[in-house]
């Protein structure tokens, strides 16, 4: 199933995702833990064209109103996310040219870094869209079951978790993400920051829930009030999807 391009398997080169061909998207951490195995999510890779593609949103652009406005959603998805997909495909094409002996060999560092930035941008946003839902219709509320038990165990309570998650998101320097992740070595949940699309991500963790704190995610409605946006985000979190990722990562 893997597409071989020269001696490098594209997916192994990315190290973070595996995409099925049957209309499923299975995003994997570097350890190969399936995040979405068997889940009918829009694919982010077109095997026939051998290119990454922009997945459609699982809801309308205005579905997250008033918490995230329709214009922001449309620009963010159709322009920003599409740009990461385009940048990833371009970087992989340039690397293929270098393997074939073309181009300037000294640019390999640049294109390898472009794969990390744009590839992470593609995965981050794919997880972001599917990790949200309309408030009261798939979004909001609190987690239950095994995920809730793990949150209570590792943070003390849901309120303590939510407070830390918001504070971490608000404290990202510049543009980046706040993430709830599963750390498999200790089998515990952590909240971490990611700067830009890829810096400071903890190796081997499975991303469960991410909040995009680039200004393009909230500026039209919230201007510089990132904390208001982080508060509103809790109205559109799809705990069902986050729980599914947790179950895929842990077997619980
Ligand atoms: Mn973004």
Report the mean per-residue pLDDT for the chain: 86
What pLDDT sits at residue 41?
A: 43
Looking at per-residue confidence, does 160 or 26 come out higher?
160
Ligand 1 centre to CA of 125 (Å) is: 6
Averaged over 129-152, what is the pLDDT? 98
Does 131 have pLDDT greater than 50? yes
For 176-185, what is each residue's pLDDT tens digit? Answer: 999 999 999 9
What pLDDT sits at residue 35?
A: 38
Ligand 1 centre to CA of 122 (Å) is: 9
Looking at per-residue confidence, does 123 or 18 come out higher?
123
Ligand 1 centre to CA of 174 (Å) is: 13
For 210-249, what is each residue's pLDDT tens digit? Answer: 999 999 999 999 999 999 999 999 999 999 999 999 999 9
Ligand 1 centre to CA of 217 (Å) is: 6
Averaged over 57-73, what is the pLDDT? 97
Does 42 have pLDDT greater than 80? no
- Contact call for residues 36 and 27 (beta carbons, < 8 A): yes
Give CA angle at 121 (117, 125), nearest 5°.
Answer: 170
Ligand 1 centre to CA of 16 (Å) is: 18
What pLDDT sits at residue 161?
A: 98
What pLDDT sits at residue 252?
A: 87
Ligand 1 centre to CA of 54 (Å) is: 13
Ligand 1 centre to CA of 179 (Å) is: 14
CA–CA separation, 66 vs 42, rounded Å?
25
What pLDDT sits at residue 150?
A: 98
Ligand 1 centre to CA of 74 (Å) is: 11
Ligand 1 centre to CA of 184 (Å) is: 27
Q: Supply the pTM of this predicted model.
A: 0.83
For 3-37, what is each residue's pLDDT tens digit? Answer: 333 333 333 333 333 333 223 333 332 222 233 44
- Contact call for residues 175 and 215 (beta carbons, < 8 A): yes
Does 125 have pLDDT greater than 90? yes
Ligand 1 centre to CA of 121 (Å) is: 7
What pLDDT sits at residue 241?
A: 97
Question: Could you tell me the CA-to-CA distances from 216 to 3, 193, 208, 222, 251 in Å, in that order?
Answer: 33, 17, 22, 10, 35
- Contact call for residues 228 and 122 (beta carbons, < 8 A): no
What pLDDT sits at residue 120?
A: 97
Ligand 1 centre to CA of 98 (Å) is: 30
Ligand 1 centre to CA of 105 (Å) is: 31
Ligand 1 centre to CA of 252 (Å) is: 30
Question: To the nearest whole percent, how much of the chain has pLDDT over 70?
Answer: 83
Ligand 1 centre to CA of 6 (Å) is: 32
> Domains (ranges, CATH) in the chain?
145-250 (3.55.40.20)
CA–CA separation, 33 vs 250, rounded Å?
9
Tokens describing residue 223? 């201007």
What pLDDT sits at residue 24?
A: 32
């Amino acid at each position: 199933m893997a597409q071989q391009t020269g001696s490098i398997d594209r997916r192994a080169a990315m190290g973070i995702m595996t995409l099925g061909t049957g209309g499923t998207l299975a995003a994997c951490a570097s350890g190969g833990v399936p995040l979405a195995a068997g889940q009918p999510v829009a694919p982010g890779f077109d095997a026939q064209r051998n290119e990454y593609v922009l997945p459609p949103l699982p809801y309308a652009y205005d579905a997250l109103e008033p918490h995230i406005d329709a214009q922001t959603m449309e620009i963010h998805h159709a322009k920003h996310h599409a740009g990461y997909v385009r940048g990833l495909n371009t970087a992989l094409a340039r690397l293929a040219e270098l393997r074939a002996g073309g181009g300037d060999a000294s640019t390999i560092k640049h294109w390898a870094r472009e794969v990390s930035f744009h590839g992470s941008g593609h995965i981050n946003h794919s997880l972001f869209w599917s990790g949200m839902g309309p408030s009261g219709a798939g979004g909001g509320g609190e987690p239950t079951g095994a995920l809730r038990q793990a949150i209570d165990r590792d943070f003390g309570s849901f309120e303590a978790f939510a407070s830390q998650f918001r504070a971490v998101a608000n404290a990202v320097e510049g543009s980046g993400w706040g993430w709830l992740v599963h750390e498999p070595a200790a089998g515990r949940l952590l909240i971490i920051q990611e700067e830009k699309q890829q810096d400071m991500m903890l190796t081997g963790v499975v991303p469960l829930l991410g909040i995009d704190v680039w200004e393009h995610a909230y500026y039209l409605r919230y201007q510089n009030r990132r904390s208001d946006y982080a508060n509103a985000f809790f109205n559109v979190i799809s705990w069902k999807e986050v729980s599914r990722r947790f179950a895929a990562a842990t077997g619980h």
